[in-house]
Amino acid sequence: MFEPPEEKQEVIEAYDRRASGYDLAVKWFDVSARFGFNISGWRRQAVGQLNLKPGDTIVDIGCGTGLNFPMIYEAVGSQGTIIGVDLSEAMLAEARQMALANGWENVQLVCADATQFEFPPQVDAVISAFTLILVPGAERVIARAVESLVPGGRLVILDMAWPRWCPLWWRHVLFFLRSYGVTAEVLRRRSWEAVQQVLHERLSDLFERQYWFGFFYLAAGTVPEREIV
Ligand SMILES: C[S@@+](CC[C@H](N)C(=O)[O-])C[C@H]1O[C@@H](n2cnc3c(N)ncnc32)[C@H](O)[C@@H]1O
């Protein structure tokens, strides 16, 4: 799918602007966890679904400031490899800072569009959190991620969606979405449907869960033996 360059530029600018306050903004949402809007809890479940072991190599698509990294590092240890990919240099600078501050030498950060990123071969796991909704052609990113995974490798997606029962004008109520790149065009694209279809077609052992009235979902699966090329 063709992505208008101005749309990509808007995403880069939005996240470059938000990078330094991003972690704090996400932390604020923890206040709403008791009302079911539990981003940290969903993230924990998503990383848990990766079934990581010490020494694993994992790619985090749209890693942002690296909020998945602490849990991933805990699982893969210093022998593992964490590859974070993001469009925004400023978000990656925050992630780099986190890795430096913790002395993690096995974190590689790549500034790239997910649709153009060359996945390394033989990856053990791929995760993407709150990103693919922003990526036109996200289903092709997922298809390439599946090809890069070892048999038995896990793919986990945690993302936003827009339930069919909800009129699009409700996005004005959730006014903060726009400043994170979630525009009407993005919602009309309904890219999560194509992404979930790829998961159903290519993966086994599927785990699917919806959160917060269907505005968020977690989907995970395993690359079956037949995916060996
Ligand atoms: C809402 S943030 C999520 C960051 C992180 N995964 C998290 O869970 O906090 C979305 C991230 O996706 C990145 N992003 C958006 N479009 C992208 C694309 N086409 N390729 C790579 N990264 C992209 C943004 O720069 C931003 O850092």
pLDDT(2) > 60: no
Amino acid 4: pLDDT: 64
Name the more confident of 32 and 130: 130
pLDDT(229) > 90: no
Give a yes or no: residue 227 inside a domain. no
Give a yes or no: residue 66 inside a domain. yes
CATH number, position 28: 3.40.50.150
Is the CB of 129 inside a 6 Å radius of any atom of ligand 1? yes
Number of domains present in the structure of the chain: 1
Give a yes or no: residue 14 inside a domain. yes
- Ligand 1 probe mutation, 63, 131, 133, 192, most atoms within 8 A of CB: 131
Please give the mean pLDDT across all residues of the chain. Answer: 93
Number of C-beta neighbours around residue 37 at 10 A: 17
pLDDT(69) > 60: yes
**What is the span of the domain harbouring residue 144?**
5-218
What percent of the chain is predicted at pLDDT more than 90? 81
Give a yes or no: residue 225 inside a domain. no
What percent of the chain is predicted at pLDDT more than 70? 97
Regarding pTM above 0.85, the answer is: yes
Q: How confident is the model at residue 174 (pLDDT cuts 50, 70, 90)?
A: confident
Amino acid 227: pLDDT: 47
pLDDT(210) > 50: yes
pLDDT, tens digit, 9 for 90 and up, residues 8-27:
999 999 999 999 999 999 98
pLDDT(163) > 50: yes
CB 145 within 8 A of CB 79: no
Give a yes or no: residue 210 inside a domain. yes
Give a yes or no: residue 28 inside a domain. yes
Amino acid 3: pLDDT: 58
Report how far ligand 1's centroid is from the alpha carbon of 149 (Å).
21
Is the CB of 87 inside a 6 Å radius of any atom of ligand 1? yes
